A and B are shown apart, each in its own frame.
Chain A
Amino acid sequence: MEVIARGEGPLFSDPDPDKLRAFFRQKSRALTNKVTTVEDAVRRFAQDGDYLAIGGFGANRIPTAVCHELVRQGRHNMIFAGHTSTHDFQILAAGEVFDRCDNAYIIGLEARGLSPNARRYMESGKVRMAEWTNYGLALRLKAAAMGVPFLPGRNMLGTDTFRKSAAIAARDPFTGKIVTLFPALSPDVAAIHVHEADVYGNCRLRGISIADLELARAAKRLIITCERLVPTEVIRAEPTLTVIPYYLVDAVCEVPYGAYPGVMPGEYFSDEEHLRLWLKTEEDPVAFGRFFDDLVRKTKDFQEYLDRCGGVRRIQQLRAQELLLDAGQAR
């Protein structure tokens, strides 16, 4: 294929599909009980320097407990997939967990505004970056999930986003048209929050899947947090509903309300007051340092964090909001 242009950005991961096959060749296919704590899962499966990806969409179905635990255990020098990231990015930037980032959507919280602290971190010059797009990173994960070295797309061409990426523009040998080649991205470790899982890691989820089905298949190691564990018989009674099979999964952690303060489809809505408080507090770095220490670094686990944010009572209000019940504000 004739190469037309090369992005000058760094490629933080190796797209070689034979190395990926060699890795997956030795990955266990055994049906073993993988239930553990988030503390243990992060200790065993997420190492300093790893390429990290977080499932969900910023403040929707995110594995909040894993993001917190990465900070608590002081993970650093990681590479982050800044794909549709919002509150997850806020947590990981505050903990300075990563020092390299593939940027697609970072530092913003969509309609809520920009994160002052994450912005300071990204403006500091401490983070090495490449630019991508949300679809571009989804395609990169899809390529790894397919076991191919790259996939073509027709986006990013002609822009500075392309120039600062590690993509290649090449001439398609079939049609003569120019396409962007997106190198496969296989994160070393990923975490995804789902509605239900069995002890082996077979997962079900409701609502949009974002890029999680690709991510689950692309990642070398996968930590699942779930709202609730279900018996394997439930999975086997209706296999159509399984979206992530157990052999991709390394750890299963039951974390009720684990997407808080984000949305969990059909379960609870995002805690907009809490997210506003977070953004407001970030304006003052000193005050935010204390806030972050109290809520994340010094809490024992996710349940303690949730208790500090109003606990199950707050979740009940958010459940009413999610289900559009009139009880929303009443309790």
Chain B
Amino acid sequence: MSGAHSTDDGTDSGDRHTAGAYDVRNVIAGLIGLYGVVLVVMGLAGSSEQDMVKTGGVNANLWSGIVMVVVALAFVLWTRLRPVVVDPGAAVDGSEAAEGAAEDRGPAHES
């Protein structure tokens, strides 16, 4: 569904704006990216002999870290290219279905 909002980046008219830092994709990118960087550093710092026995001779931290960094960058890129636009005006008259779902979760919010 994000596709439906794709072209409205940066419109500052009224309440419409992009989700920014709270876009869930940015949070995913942040955490996975952090993990990736830490693992790459650990991998470059060198694996102990014991680790090499565990992994069967692969520098697992390094390779996993690289993949995680790439995935994180892909998420950042996706967010940049297809930002989610927040439109509170549209949200207020949202469908009853959404309200019902929110009600169902209601007690969980407070507990």
Chain A bound to chain B: no
B interface residues, Cβ below 8 angstroms from A: none
A interface residues, Cβ below 8 angstroms from B: none
